A and B are shown apart, each in its own frame.
Chain A
């Protein structure tokens, strides 16, 4: 499993775009990059997953550069309800374990 590094915490204001970057220098050829969101007192929730370039869904965008050694989760125009912990996970189709790191705690202010 590739080791991931993300900022411990980030602050933002409502309406701003938030970008959370995850470093994964040892990513393997068949590894995917997956992001989960966890609200207080709830289990994590899948947000987005990608392999290369850019992936977008109704919640977020995921940007992956060509070397795939990092990835950026982009949340457009955040609101107070986006206050949560965001986890970056990296692993491949031959990985049975689902390992979470410490995540990035995002606080959105009014």
Chain B
């Protein structure tokens, strides 16, 4: 049982390049989330989705786009990467509204923008 899988695990980008991070879950969860975590900081919510075909902004959405075309996948896109987007990105999923249930996290993607 894979749970939540993030691809890739590591990536180095040059300023201005674009990339897409993939999050896949095999638990048939409705809710999915993307976070970033900077050194020594807590997690900050970028975007989230409450179901297939829906997305919403979180705390720090600027510079990112997302898509949820399939229930099991949640994609995070950076159209023009900036050094300020250097961070560790985590994806999570939960079966329903997260505050009264358990959310499951991926292993993270470490992104460096030079």
Contacts and interface: CB of A to CB of B under 8 A. Distances in A.
A93 B107 contact: no
Interface string B38-81: 00011111001010000010110000000000000000000000
A73 B113 CA distance: 38
A99 interface: yes
B99 A100 contact: no
Given A41-B108, A43-B92, A100-B43, A49 B100 contact: yes
A97 B56 CA distance: 9
Interface in A74-96: 85, 87, 89-96
Interface in A17-71: 31-32, 34, 36, 41-46, 49
A96 B50 contact: yes
Contacts of B45: 97-100
A97 B42 contact: no
A96 B106 contact: no
B98 interface: yes
Interface residues of B, number: 28
Interface of B: 4, 31, 33, 35, 41-45, 48, 50, 56, 58-59, 90, 92, 94, 97-100, 102-108
Interface of A: 31-32, 34, 36, 41-46, 49, 85, 87, 89-103
CB-CB nearest 10 A-B residue pairs: A43-B105, A91-B99, A98-B98, A46-B102, A100-B43, A102-B42, A95-B99, A32-B100, A43-B90, A100-B42
B99 A43 contact: no
B82 to A, nearest CB: 23
Contacts of A31: 99
A101 B35 CA distance: 12
Contacts of A85: 42
Contacts of A100: 35, 42-45
B42 A92 contact: no
Contacts of B43: 44, 87, 100
